[in-house]
Amino acid sequence: MIPISWSLALSAVLFVIGVIGVLVRRNALVIFMSIELMLNAANLAFVAFSRDMQSLDGQVFVFFVMTVAAAEVAVGLAIIVNMFRLRETVFVDEINLLKG
Amino acid sequence: MLWLIPALPLAAVLLNLLVGGRLGRKGVGWLACGAVGLAFLVALRAVLRLAALPEAQRTVTDTVYTWMRVGDFSADVSFLLDPLSAVMALVVTGVGFLIHVYSTGYMAHDASYRRFFLYLNLFMFAMLTLVMADNFLLMFVGWEGVGLCSYLLIGFWYTRPSAAEAGKKAFIVNRIGDVGFILGMLILFAWGGSLNYARLFAVAPHVFAVGSTVITTATLLLFLGATGKSAQLPLYTWLPDAMEGPTPVSALIHAATMVTAGVYMVARTHVLFQLAPVSLQTVAWIGAATAVFAASIGLAQNDIKRVLAYSTVSQLGYMFMACGVGAFTAGIFHLMTHAFFKALLFLGAGSVIHALSDEQDLRRMGGLAPRLPWTHATMLVATLAIAGIPPFAGFFSKDEILSSAFASGNTAVWILGLAGVVMTAFYMFRLYILAFRGQPRLSHEAEHHLHESPPSMIVPLAVLAALSVLGGLVGPPMQEGGHAFARWLAPVFAGGEHAAAAHHAVPMAVEWGLIALSVVVALAGIGLAFRVYLQDPGAATRLRERLSGLHRTLLHKYWVDELYDATAVRFVHGTARSFWRFWDTKVVDGAVNGVGYVFEGFSAVLRLFQTGFVGTYALFFTLGVAALFLHLLRH
């Protein structure tokens, strides 16, 4: 059996990859995918703990997270599509109307 | 229905504002005169009803609504008709109506015809509120209202800098008096617990000891207000300058009605003044001093309206003199007759000015009698009335004041009053002779346009002349139990007229002597004027040269304006300037701008974080979460 620390380590690595992806990538779609990566890192941690503690609560949470993620993707993609229609770009550094 | 009396002019103001532009000149004139005329009829009906009541019940109040109520304090918008306010309301609406009619002729060629009648009606509303209010607060509303209208009408021709200046002067000098009025009112409320006349006067004798400091201070402060509004020493300087306004305004506001508000107020509060003998003495002395002081300035003025202005100040002094010696009836009597003959004098002067194409200098008039027969006849009546020649109105009232002063034992005040009579007779006949008699000294152009005024101006002159002849007959001297006018006012001044009681204690022979003396003195003044200005043409010049110092002093009005400018005005200006330079620009502006600079600095730094790139925000977000995490993990 794989010890929990391995699973958690993998989860942490995935999360950090997601964070770095959000911070350094310019394409909104890739940023979006990185966010999904972070969510799934969290899911992995939930499942790992659930197995370790012999409790189903973590599994239930994962379902919630996946549902929310699906909804978020729907909204987020709609925003990105609209953004592309308006500005003909999905690069976030070209969208800086809020600059003070 | 009392509220209707002030409400009618107010309604005319509103109508004039709303639809005045569509009425045309004729319509505006009819509206303004009609409203005031109607107010006079309503007032007359109310007074006749009042007269039908038994003497003791002659006070009618009409509460329109409660204005404010705070704790024990309440102030109503409530009107009072008693014999005193009846006299005032009739004089204000009656003389006011005549002057409105006169104005339709006098202002016929003015561009701002509508604005003039708007202000004039507004003035009538404020003045009627003042004289018919049943409490100090509502009276103060009228008091300030007439001050405002006075300012607006003095500065009516505001494109002339001198008119704008005169309006400002009147307003500011009146403010000084008003501070006194407000403080006096507050003291009365603090000690007496009410501002309603009836309630305050009922408790006054129990609350205030005779001659106590509180009541003396309160009445002196009220009197300060009266000196401002009624142009007495030391606050009289605004009235002569107020002659910058159109002549009907001088007649209505600065002779017949508004300036008598101070006298009315002192008479109204006679219950309080009688509790403060020191205040009464002050009133008498200020009145007597003003009467002589202003009359002496009037001797040397060359502007026809200015002579009349100083004469008004002087006559108001007589009214205060009467109040000061306790003869309130005589004061109000003189107020009424003065309203008649002084309004007539001003309107007559206006008619002369109108006829001479706006010439006001007496030195460029003369010989007008045959050319302006109606103006001349009515002016002569008014001049005789103010000089105190029987049987004209001014004789009765002025004589009553003088004999009351004599009877009350204030001999010095009486002598001052008598000196004033000589001067009054002299300067009034000087004006009359310089304007109407002798050789014409008109400019060629004025001569060319010379014309008698239209009927709309002559008819009011004739009515006022009739009143100036007959007005005094309501109060002939030496009547058993007081004359008709005194009996009418008796319910108001009941029990208060100790001087009047003393007056009747003077033996018959002494009283005849006093009358004869004042008539002889007046005749002497008139004779002197005829001798100096008509019979001996060189006499005036010789007199001026012999008394050149005195003449210069009088011509320059004792340099009082210069004195005030050098002291009070300079002081206020200087203080204001240093406040502006230091406090306003340095402290206030500095604080405001300083706050601005601080926030500008902060925001310059904060703006660096707002890049507009989502990535930057995400980075800060991540760093923040990481920092929070570290913080949580450490504990």
Over residues B256-288, the pLDDT tens digits come to 889 999 999 999 998 899 888 899 999 999 999
CA distance B480 to B115: 50
Average of per-residue pLDDT across B303-313: 91
> Span B114-123, mean pLDDT?
92
- Total count of residues recorded for chain A: 100
The mean per-residue pLDDT over the stretch B207-235 comes to: 90
Q: Domain for residue A98, yes or no? A: no
User: Residue B81 has what DSSP assignment?
Assistant: E
Our CA-based measurement puts residue A49 at a distance from the nearest CA of chain B, in whole angstroms, of: 19
Q: Is B206 on the interface with A (CB under 8 A)?
A: no
Closest Cα of chain A to B629: distance in Å? 14
Does residue A41 fall inside a structural domain?
yes
Q: Which residues contact A65 (CB under 8 A, 6 or more apart)?
A: A39, A42, A43, A46
| Statement: residue B549 has pLDDT above 60 | yes
Q: Answer yes or no: is pLDDT of B503 > 60.
A: no
Pick the more confident residue, B556 or B149: B149
Phi then psi for residue B613, to 5 deg, are -90, 130
Q: What is the percentage of chain B residues whose pLDDT exceeds 70?
A: 98
Give me B111's structure tokens.
């561009």
Which chain B residue is nearest to residue A94, measuring alpha carbons? B613
Interface contact flag, A19 B622, Cβ < 8 Å: yes
A22:B610 CB<8 A: no
| Angle made by CA atoms B108, B119, B149, in degrees to the nearest 5 | 135
Q: Is B600 touching A (CB cutoff 8 A)?
A: no
Predicted confidence (pLDDT) at residue A66 exceeds the cutoff of 90: yes
In a domain, A96, yes or no: no
Give, to the nearest 10 degrees, the angle between helix B373-387 and helix B508-530.
Answer: 140
Average pLDDT over residues B393-399: 88
Classify residue A50: in a domain, yes or no.
Answer: yes
Asked if B616 has any chain A CB less than 8 Å from its own CB, the reply is no
Query: Is the pLDDT at B444 greater than 80, yes or no?
Result: no
Whether A24 and B615 lie within 8 Å, measured CB to CB: yes
Do B436 and B377 contact (CB within 8 A), yes or no? no
A-chain residue closest to B621, CA distance: A23
Number of domains forming the structure of chain A: 1
**Dihedral in degrees, nearest 10, Cα atoms B487, B492, B498, B500:** -30
Residue pairs between chains A and B whose CB atoms are closer than 8 Å: 31
* 8 Å CB contact between A12 and A41: yes
**Rounded mean pLDDT, B309-336:** 91
> Which residue range is the domain that position A85 belongs to?
4-89
Q: What number is the average pLDDT over the span B312-329?
A: 91
**Nearest C-alpha of chain B: how many angstroms from A69?**
19
**What are the tens digits of pLDDT across the range B586-601?**
999 999 999 999 999 9
Q: Provide ipTM, 2 decimals.
A: 0.76
Give the per-residue SS3 of B274-309.
CCCHHHHHHHHHHHHHHHHHHHHHHCCCCEHHHHHH
Closest-CA distance of chain B to residue A16, Å: 11
Convert the pLDDT of each residue in B598-633 to its tens digit.
999 999 998 887 777 777 888 888 899 999 999 999
Q: Which residue has better confidence, B79 or B494?
A: B79
The minimal CB distance from B614 to the residues A24, A92, A100 is found for A92
Supply the pTM of this predicted model.
Answer: 0.79
Residue of A nearest to B605 (CA): A100
- 8 A C-beta contact, residue B65 and residue B241: no
Residue A65 lies in a domain: yes
Closest residue in A to B607 (Cα–Cα): A100
- Please name the residue of chain B whose CA is at the shortest distance from the CA of residue A93: B613
**Residue range B167-205, pLDDT digits in tens:** 999 999 999 999 999 999 999 998 888 888 888 888 888
Chain A residues within 8 Å of chain B (Cβ atoms): 19, 22-24, 26, 31, 92-93, 95-100
pLDDT for residue B480: 66
- Across the interface, do B618 and A23 touch by the CB < 8 Å criterion? yes
CB contact under 8 A, A100 and B622: no
In a domain, A59, yes or no: yes
pLDDT higher than 90, residue B143: yes
Nearest CA in chain B to A24: B615
From residue B39, give the alpha-carbon distance in Å to each of A52, B20, B92, B374.
101, 20, 10, 28
Q: Across the interface, do A96 and B618 touch by the CB < 8 Å criterion?
A: no
| CATH number of residue A15's parent domain | 1.10.287.3510
Nearest by CB: A100 against B607, B615, B618: B607
Closest chain B residue to A15, measured at CA: B622
Query: For B428-485, what is the HEC assignment?
Result: HHHHHHHHHCCCCCCCHHHHHHCCCCCHHHHHHHHHHHHHHHHHHHHCCCCCCCCCHH
Structural element, H or E, at residue B508: helix B508-530
Q: Say which of B612, B618, B619 has its CB closest to residue A96.
A: B612
Question: What pLDDT, in 10s, does the model give residues B456-475?
Answer: 888 999 999 999 988 888 87
Q: So what's the pLDDT on residue B140? A: 93
Looking at chain B, the whole-number percentage of residues with pLDDT higher than 90 is 37
B359 pLDDT exceeds 90?
no
- Beta-carbon separation of A96 and B615 below 8 A: no
B501 pLDDT above the threshold of 50: no
CB contact under 8 A, B612 and A97: yes
| Confidence check: pLDDT of B129 > 60 | yes
Using a CB-CB cut-off of 8 Å, the residues of chain A touching B606 are: 100
B108 falls in which pLDDT band (50, 70, 90)? confident
pLDDT of residue A40: 94
C-beta atoms surrounding B51 within 10 Å: 12
Find the CB nearest B613 among A19, A22, A96: A96
At B290 the pLDDT is 92
Q: What type of residue is B214?
A: V
Residue A97 lies in a domain: no
CA angle B120, B121, B127 (to 5 degrees): 90
Residues B617 and B486: their CA atoms lie apart, in Å, by 93
Q: Residue A98: its chain B contacts at CB < 8 A?
A: 610, 612
What residues in B contact A23, CB-CB < 8 Å? 615, 618-619, 622
Q: Which of A22, A31, A98 sits opposite B612 (nearest CB)?
A: A98
| Nearest CA distance, A39 vs chain B (angstrom) | 15
Query: CB distance B612–A24 less than 8 Å?
Result: no
Per-residue confidence (pLDDT) for residue A100, from 0 to 100: 56
- DSSP labels, A39-68: HHHHHHHHHHHHHHHT-SHHHHHHHHHHHH
Does a structural domain hold residue A58?
Answer: yes
pLDDT greater than 60 at residue B324: yes
Please give the mean pLDDT across all residues of chain B.
87
Mean per-residue pLDDT, B117-136 = 92
B499: confidence class by pLDDT, cuts 50, 70, 90: very low
